[in-house]
Structure 1
């Protein structure tokens, strides 16, 4: 059985109440981090052994993540981390545009503190100075999660957590993460400044342009990557 030392470190997170939901949380985070890249076959023996969970618990966690679109079951082959199609990426962005723009629109009636957004911007700039482009990607995801959190809705937070985890499957296929993420450091700063100024109508317009440009850029580089 192959050893998975990094994943074994997560075993402590399960505590004494190991459940499929907790296992799926751990695996979701690991997939989002690129620990299991797209196309990876997931070994029940290795993962179950690393986490110390039963085969039935692990299979239920796989089922949950398959439902979320992070994994796929291939008949007679096993369970794999999904490789998104370009159409999947486009659909993810349709969802993002609907949700994120609606959140910004709603701030006009119910402004919220922007500390989380500011921290995500600072984290991205710090990672860029260190040329840690994977961390820049993570900071950008945090920026958008903090943006959605301004809705004050746990259900919306949960929806976008899953959507953004799925989006990171595409990021892990792109060969040059700097090319993908660096341009949005400045755009995150600009969007934050507009929100801090209280111009929520302009912020919504800026966010819509931002997401459209992000989609077009990602589709271009992602399409080349998956085609080889």
Structure 2
């Protein structure tokens, strides 16, 4: 665990109220997934089963099942005789994530019918990202950017697509958490997010898809070039 372990564990203890009377592995996994997405448990962190179990007030079996669910989602990895760790992505992982993103996000725009399109959630994410950037809150800007792409995929109107993208984007955030300069990565895309949502508001889904395709390729290339390859560590 990190130097901020005590703070993180106290936050987890506060999350205990979310479990209510129907504590399940899925709900424990949801809490841990969110904490991982926020960077509370950075990539490479060993998760202390005893301390997390104590903070959340759940059984050993429940926590281990939650760990298994998150391992299946590629957020955790179990190492024999060493424990469970938050995954550190490789460049190959990132390339594959972007391959899936282009398949899903671009298809969501390609499948739109006649305008006008319901892009309120997309617009809200763009606005949140710009406000976070103006305040210098680059971690929040990253979160807003994730919400932007989740909302784009959401235009497909498919619960299965939404679930797929939540997992893919949660995994991608593992890469963001070990980037040295999140501002350098996220700032250039604020204007491009604005351009895409404006194009959708004009009713031009074809042009929005074209912009998104170039956007994702540029993002993939930039992230891989800047990404510190830490898997061997």
User: Is residue 168 from structure 1 mapped to residue 154 from structure 2 by the alignment?
Assistant: no
Task: Say if 1:6 and 1:209 are closer, same or farther in 2 by CA, change over 3 A.
Answer: same
Confirm or deny: 8 A CA contact 1:173 1:226 kept in the other structure: no
User: Is residue 11 from structure 1 mapped to residue 20 from structure 2 by the alignment?
Assistant: no
Matches within 5 A, 1:1-228: 3=6, 4-109=9-114, 112-223=117-228
What is the TM-score with the length of structure 1 in the denominator? 0.96
Task: Say if 1:226 and 1:108 are closer, same or farther in 2 by CA, change over 3 A.
Answer: same
Q: Classify the secondary structure of the residue corresponding to 1:182.
A: helix
Task: Say if 1:159 and 1:207 are closer, same or farther in 2 by CA, change over 3 A.
Answer: same
Q: Classify the secondary structure of the residue corresponding to 1:96.
A: helix
Gaps of 5+ in 1: none
Give, in whole Å, the separation in 2 of the partners of 1:214 and 1:160. Answer: 17
- CA-CA distance at 1:112 after TM superposition: 3.3
Give, in whole Å, the separation in 2 of the partners of 1:15 and 1:149. Answer: 29
- CA-CA distance at 1:9 after TM superposition: 1.2
Structure 1 segments (4+ residues) deviating >2 Å: 108-112, 223-228
Aligned-pair Cα RMSD in Å: 1.7
Confirm or deny: 8 A CA contact 2:117 2:203 kept in the other structure: no
Give, in whole Å, the separation in 1 of the partners of 2:229 and 2:10. Answer: 33
What is the TM-score with the length of structure 2 in the denominator? 0.94
Gaps of 5+ in 2: none
